[in-house]
Structure 1
Amino acid sequence: MEFPKDKQIILFDGVCNYCNDTINKIIEADTKDIFRFVAIQSQTGQEIIKYIGMNPNIDSIVLYKPGYAYYVKSEAIFKIVNQLKGFTLLKILSIFPSSLANLGYNFFAKNRYNWYGKKDACMIPTPEIKAKFL
């Protein structure tokens, strides 16, 4: 499978309202055009998950750096926000060890649908941001 080698790929929960809002904020803050995006539930998302050897039922954000490494949960979030302007609180929280940060991540992830709801299908990007999606 071919991936853009000069871009990092963020795999996200495409039906989660909170996740979609967050992806829109990342797109807005990605002024250096670092990232590409794909919903984990999509065919392309599942192909990437399989390619990197992860469980296809993963319920986490994933940051994949083609040819280099991948990160999940809080580690993925911290790697993402540390490359962007803003997101100050998350950058401060990155001082915590992954094991502790993942406790908070897991609690939030477990409750995100109850707090923010979910869509019946993955979001459809606007024409302006469609090029950022795989």
Structure 2
Amino acid sequence: MTRWSPQPAPDEPDGLILFDGVCVFCSRWVRFVIDHDPEQRFRFLPIQSEAGRALATRYGIDPEAPQTNAVVWGGLIHFKSDAALTVLGALPKTRALAALKAAPRLLRDPAYDLIAKNRYAIFGRTDACMVPSAEDRARFLA
């Protein structure tokens, strides 16, 4: 088991996605999930919020320099490529992509890390967290 292996998270709400709210790529990821989640199973928590910082710290993510997003699903918290593929596997139109979890994390996570390390340089960074639309606001916990 590695630092970023799924961990038990029985007290966390299922479907919670922790994300970097000032990262343009991460905000687009949240928008993608919202647009492809007709059952509205996912909720969102920016790491820059008080609750987001607390959740990140509880599971070993540095809130000042997050190396991963995370999702709580099925009583576990998933990180890095596991998190992304878990979410994609739960969305109706991208469900087949969950099959990529069959590839070892040792092969998947370096690609994730490359994007995560360079996300601000490639996609940009904002000064403030994304502001959800009025209709999506209830899905954001902070």
Same fold (TM over 0.5): yes
What does residue 111 of structure 1 align with?
Answer: 118
**1:54 is aligned to 2:60:** yes
- SS of residue paired to 2:34: helix
Map 1:18-97; keep pairs closer than 5 Å. Answer: 18-50=25-57, 52-57=58-63, 58-65=66-73, 68-87=75-94, 90-91=97-98, 93-97=100-104
Q: State how far apart, in whole Å, the 2-side matches of 1:23 and 1:33 are.
A: 12
Is contact 2:80-2:109 (8 Å) kept? yes
Give the TM-score normalised by structure 1: 0.84
What does residue 100 of structure 1 align with?
Answer: 107
- SS of residue paired to 1:71: strand
Q: What's the C-alpha RMSD, in Å, of the aligned pairs?
A: 2.1
Give the TM-score normalised by structure 2: 0.80
What does residue 122 of structure 1 align with?
Answer: 129
- SS of residue paired to 1:94: helix
Letter in 2 for 1:99: L
Is contact 2:67-2:113 (8 Å) kept? no
